[in-house]
A and B are shown apart, each in its own frame.
Chain A
């Protein structure tokens, strides 16, 4: 079985500051890794994913995450946040090579960007 730990339940930051949302996972098999974002009163949207290849993955809105196999981590970073980045962020894993109907989620990190 897989498990995901998001180390911070809430992260408040000021606009234009850098941010890191931390995610660690546990699994006895290879996994795919995901970050999903949930804006207030909306569904989940995929932010970025790691399947294989380069361990650094990027999203179109400036977020990046790095897969670290030795530390079993997949931390999410952004060098300069905007007010519009305020949302809840979920880290998730699924078994690599399998199909993605069984995602295991972390408990979420609420990112609040203050002016």
Chain B
């Protein structure tokens, strides 16, 4: 049981490049979320999904797209990276009706 798996662990992008951060969970959780962590800011919610085909915006959605075609996967896309998107990104999943969120190990993204 791998839990929540994020790839890659590290990435450096040039301004304007695009990329997809991958997130997969094998716990059959209905809910998945993306957060970004910045120094002194804690974690802030970017996007979330309550099931396949259903996504919604969180607190800081600008510059990011998501889709949820399967229960297991919830990729986060940066269409045109900006230095302000330099951050550590965490994916989380939660079982419907349960309170505990499980987090991946994070992706450290640097945009230069």
Contact = CB atoms under 8 A, between A and B. Distances in A.
Contact of B100 (A4, A49, A106): A49
A51 B40 CA distance: 27
Interface in A15-58: 32, 34, 36, 42-46, 49, 51
B43 A100 contact: no
Contact of B90 (A4, A43, A92, A100): A43
Given A32-B99, A46-B100, A99-B31, A105 B106 contact: no
A107 B103 contact: no
Interface residues of B, number: 29
A9 B39 CA distance: 11
A21 B105 CA distance: 24
Contacts of B48: 101-102
B33 A102 contact: yes
B8 interface: no
A102 B43 contact: no
